[in-house]
Amino acid sequence: MDRNKNILQTILLIVIVTITGFLGLTMPIVAIAYPILLTFIGLRNGMKNNIIAFITSLILIAAITGSIGVLIIPLQYGILSVFTVYMINKGYKINKVILYSIGLVFLMVLIHMGLKWVTTGVNTFTELETSLTEVTNEQLSALDTEGMSEADVSEFKNILKTTVDYISSVFPVLLIVSSAFIAYINYYVSTRLARGSGRLDIAVPRFSRIIFPKHIILGLGFLLLTSYALQYVGNFNYMQLVNNIFILMYVIFLLEGLSLTVFVIKKMEMGLFFKVLFIAIIALSSFLNIVLFSVGIIDIVLDFRKIRKVSET
């Protein structure tokens, strides 16, 4: 009876996975549910069922759309789910699973862009810049310039062009940050679902326990010095690399500071609604973000929560 029930539940999950994978082709927000559900199947019913659900959903998506080319994104997400299930079932620590998952997602994106360039001749960076330029031109054409001086219009054009150039230049770090987001959300939600279904041996990552290694400050500092040194090597655009490193530093230290803040607020005696509201206000405040950034640097060095000592014992 239990075996038949598990089979029916697995079939139902495969149908849901296929639907999310299909909808995710046009709605990126829905697409993240695809690896989450596949990972949940693997954690709940084993690696074998994870792979079966993965392959079956790919076949069904290809049959529905009538195209194999649309399977690129579901294929990448499916590989992420198999990788995550394998590492969790093998007992790897949370930080290693998430770190390796980030690397895997980022690597698959690079491979995808490389294959796209080789097979179609389309450069993703150039394609992004072209798309942003088209959006900018549409905004300019829709702009009612009546009452505006030529100087104002010219200044507005320069601002838009600067914005486009900046977004294009920091695209690499945006890929890293998005890869981290996908890896973390996939791990967090799938493990929460698995624990809710009875897998109590699985640890769920808590945002309030995030802490980066001490040597990350030295590593980022070394990267910055190296980037500045590259200005003396030919015509290398070192400022583009510097901008990417600065954004990466900002995100890392901000997350560290926000994680410590969440840790402290969770211990305060107030209702859940006010805790969430307090955290949201802090996270959305530009001034407080600077404070979180500074606190994050200090916490990486001093480890106020003593998380590293606990993990070492």
Whole-angstrom Cα distance, residue 130 to residue 26? Answer: 21
pLDDT at 143: 60
Longest dimension (CA), the chain: 78
129-138, 173-182, 214-223, 291-300: least confident range: 129-138
Q: Looking at the predicted structure, is the pLDDT value of residue 263 above 50?
A: yes
Whole-angstrom Cα distance, residue 226 to residue 239? Answer: 11
92-106, 146-160, 197-211, 289-303: least confident range: 146-160
The DSSP code for 207 is: G
**The two three-digit tokens of residue 26, written as one number:** 């046009």
- Across the range 236-240, mean pLDDT stands at 78
Q: Looking at the predicted structure, is the pLDDT value of residue 145 above 70?
A: no
63-67, 89-93, 186-190, 283-287: least confident range: 283-287
Q: Are 18 and 61 in contact (CB under 8 A)?
A: yes
300 vs 200: which has the higher pLDDT? 300
pLDDT at 227: 83
**The two three-digit tokens of residue 241, written as one number:** 């690399």
176-180, 232-236, 237-241, 288-292: least confident range: 232-236
List, for residues 146-177, the tens digit of each pLDDT value. Answer: 556 667 667 777 777 787 778 878 888 999 99
Whole-angstrom Cα distance, residue 113 to residue 235? Answer: 25
Q: Looking at the predicted structure, is the pLDDT value of residue 276 above 70?
A: yes
Structure confidence at residue 312 as a pLDDT band (50, 70, 90): very low
Structure confidence at residue 140 as a pLDDT band (50, 70, 90): low
List, for residues 18-73, the tens digit of each pLDDT value. Answer: 898 888 888 888 889 999 999 999 998 889 989 999 999 999 999 998 888 788 88
Structure confidence at residue 310 as a pLDDT band (50, 70, 90): low
254 vs 276: which has the higher pLDDT? 254
pLDDT at 75: 92
What is the chain's mean pLDDT, rounded? Answer: 85
Q: Looking at the predicted structure, is the pLDDT value of residue 313 above 70?
A: no
Phi, psi of 195 (to 5 degrees): -65, -35
Taking the alpha carbons at both ends of the chain, their separation in whole angstroms is: 44
234 vs 55: which has the higher pLDDT? 55
Q: Looking at the predicted structure, is the pLDDT value of residue 249 above 80?
A: yes
Structure confidence at residue 76 as a pLDDT band (50, 70, 90): very high
pLDDT at 260: 92
The CA radius of gyration of the chain, in Å to the nearest whole number, is 23
- Across the range 220-235, mean pLDDT stands at 81
List, for residues 118-138, the tens digit of each pLDDT value. Answer: 888 877 877 777 777 777 777
The DSSP code for 231 is: G
